[in-house]
Amino acid sequence: MSTPSVPSVTVNGDHVPLTGVATHTTALDWLRGRGLTGAKEGCAEGECGACSVLVARPGTTSPTEWTAVNACLVPVAALDGQELVTSEGLGSSDDLHPVQQELAVRGGSQCGYCTPGFVCSLAAEYYRPNREPAAGDAAACDHEHGPNGVDLHALSGNLCRCTGYRPIRDAAYALGAPEADDAFAARQQQPPPEPRPTRIAVDGAQFVRPETLTEALDLITEWPEAQVVAGSTDWGVEVNIRGRRAPLVVAVDRLPELRELSFRTGHVEIGAALTLTEIERKLNGRVPLLAELFPQFASRLIRNGATLGGNIGTASPIGDAPPALLALDAEVVLASPRGERVVPLADYFTGYRETVLAADELIRSVRLPLPLAPVVGFHKIAKRRFDDISSVAVGYALEIADGTVVRARIGLGGVAATPLRAVATEDALVGRPWTEESVRRAAAVLATEGTPMDDHRASASYRSAMLGQSLLRLFHAHPQTQEVPA
| CA 410 – CA 324 distance, rounded (Å) | 8
Q: What are phi and psi of 363, to 5 degrees?
A: -80, 120
Looking at residue 457, its pLDDT comes to 87
Evaluate if residue 444 carries a pLDDT over 70.
yes
Evaluate if residue 486 carries a pLDDT over 50.
no
pLDDT tens-digit series, residues 236-253 = 999 999 999 999 999 999
Looking at residue 145, its pLDDT comes to 82
Q: How many residues does the chain have?
A: 486
Identity of residue 192: P
pLDDT tens-digit series, residues 320-345 = 999 999 999 999 999 999 999 999 99
Q: Can you give the three-state secondary structure of 97-157, one letter per residue? A: CHHHHHHHHCCCCCCCCCHHHHHHHHHHHHCCCCCCCCCCCHHHCCCCECCCCCEHHHHCC
Evaluate if residue 459 carries a pLDDT over 60.
yes
Under 8 Å CB-to-CB from 242, ≥6 apart: which residues? none
SS3 443: helix
The confidence band for 3, taking pLDDT boundaries of 50, 70 and 90, is very low
pLDDT tens-digit series, residues 106-126 = 999 999 999 999 999 999 999
| Degrees to nearest 5, angle at CA 10 with 8 and 16 | 50
Chain-centre distance of CA 298, in angstroms? 7
| Degrees to nearest 5, angle at CA 191 with 185 and 193 | 105
Are the C-beta atoms of 415 and 461 separated by less than 8 Å?
A: no
**Residue 88 β-bridge partners:** none
| Burial class, 9, CB count within 10 angstroms (exposed 0-12 / middle 13-18 / buried 19+) | buried
Mean pLDDT score of the chain, rounded to an integer? 94
Which whole-number Å values give the CA distances from 477 to 45, 101, 304, 397, 438, in the listed order?
Answer: 35, 43, 30, 13, 16
Q: In terms of Cα–Cα distance, which of 206, 216, 299 is closest to 254?
A: 216
Q: Find the mean pLDDT for residues 402-406.
A: 96
The confidence band for 484, taking pLDDT boundaries of 50, 70 and 90, is very low
Evaluate if residue 317 carries a pLDDT over 90.
yes
DSSP 333: E
SS3 399: strand
Looking at residue 143, its pLDDT comes to 57
Chain-centre distance of CA 33, in angstroms? 28
**Residue 264 β-bridge partners:** 267
The helix (run of H) or strand (run of E) holding residue 439 is helix 436-446
The structural domains of the chain, ordered by start, are: 1-193 (3.10.20.30), 256-372 (3.30.465.10), 375-486 (3.30.390.50)
The confidence band for 132, taking pLDDT boundaries of 50, 70 and 90, is confident
**Cis amide prior to 337 (ω within 30 degrees):** no
Looking at residue 481, its pLDDT comes to 56
The confidence band for 383, taking pLDDT boundaries of 50, 70 and 90, is confident
pLDDT tens-digit series, residues 176-229 = 999 999 999 999 999 999 989 999 999 999 999 999 999 999 999 999 999 999
pLDDT tens-digit series, residues 158-176 = 999 898 899 999 999 999 9
The confidence band for 483, taking pLDDT boundaries of 50, 70 and 90, is very low
The helix (run of H) or strand (run of E) holding residue 473 is helix 460-477
Are the C-beta atoms of 399 and 410 separated by less than 8 Å?
A: no
Looking at residue 140, its pLDDT comes to 46
Model confidence pTM above 0.75: yes
Looking at residue 485, its pLDDT comes to 42
Evaluate if residue 480 carries a pLDDT over 70.
no
| CA 24 – CA 1 distance, rounded (Å) | 22
Q: Find the mean pLDDT for residues 61-77.
A: 97
